Amino acid sequence: MKATSSPLIHSFFDEATFTVTYLISHPITKECTIIDSVLDFDQASGRTSTTSADQLIHLINTEGLTLKWIMETHVHADHLSAAPYLKKQLGGQIVIGHNITQVQTAFGDLLNVESDFLRDGSQFDILVSEGSTLALGDLTFTVLHTPGHTPACVSYVIEDACFVGDTLFMPDFGTARCDFPGGDAATLYQSIQKILSLPDTTRIFTCHDYKAANRDVFAWESTVKQQKQYNLHVNQSINEAEFCLMRTQKDATLSMPKLIWPSVQINMRAGNMPPAEKNGVSYIKTPINLV
């Protein structure tokens, strides 16, 4: 049965991490979903705060919404997830791609995590894969498995909107890097083709924007048609071999994300901190001279 309503989409941009969080709600049932939340983190002091998450909570409470899903497009390497805080305040279930286990295994080894850290994705409530569906009233999110940036990347499609995480950026900025553990340029190219096979009018919502050099404002919404015509890295005139060469060469010049170690070791735990030590304090590891 075709849905009788269209989802309402609110965007929240965190300029400190260049991250866009989305709140998607059903206009009639008032159920809602959060995609890619942000827990504010000051690396110098090691302190977290919930200013960004509280903006979401305020709007949800003001609009009388009920939080059903807290979705992650992947294990982010550039910001911390606020998923546990949002779940504690509002309920909802935390969702990520089923290949989270590969990320947990790779980074669990790199970080030499505690021996009882589970690498089975059980820290999350729901693991989704290609074709999985999640209901929001009479609307449905359909999951596309879109790896390449990481093995666990997924995109969420609802009606004419597709939330692609880091797979694609705005057309004038290009595509995601592929040099993290489990990343692969050819795989990313194929994942992008899957997204670009959606109808031309499908709206593409990206997780980040870094404001390309010739653009004065941040932006995070485009269309499949615009991506196919104008994306710097993966438009219709660029084949897979050309993309892989470009992506591999470009990735070799990139620095590690500033928050990669705090972000990954927390986000692979569904946003929970590492176990507290004997003094009751959690600590974040940074491997020295490892990568």
Chain segment 252-272, per-residue pLDDT in tens: 999 999 999 999 999 999 999
Helices vs strands, H then E, count in the chain: 7, 14
Q: pLDDT (tens digit, 9 = 90+) per residue, 118-177? A: 999 999 999 999 999 999 999 999 999 999 999 999 999 999 999 999 999 999 999 999
Tens digit of each residue's pLDDT (9 = 90 or more) over 202-242? 999 999 999 998 899 999 999 999 999 999 999 989 999 99
Q: What is the pLDDT of residues 59-113, one digit of tens each?
A: 999 999 999 999 999 999 999 999 999 999 999 999 999 999 999 999 999 999 9
Contact 79, 19 (CB under 8 A): yes
291: pLDDT confidence band, cut at 50, 70 and 90? confident
Separation CA 190–CA 226 (nearest Å): 18
For residue 3, name the pLDDT band (cuts at 50, 70, 90): low
Listed residue (103, 101, 22, 104) closest to 69, CA to CA: 22
Give start and end residues of each alpha helix (H) in the chain.
51-62, 83-90, 100-110, 185-196, 224-230, 240-251, 260-267
pTM greater than the 0.85 cutoff: yes
At 186, the pLDDT band (50, 70, 90 cuts) reads very high
Q: How do residues 28-52 score in pLDDT, each as one tens digit?
A: 999 999 999 999 999 999 999 999 9
In angstroms, the Cα distances linking 24 to 10, 11, 65, 174, 217 are 6, 9, 10, 25, 23
What is the structure's pLDDT at 4?
60
pLDDT at 163: 98
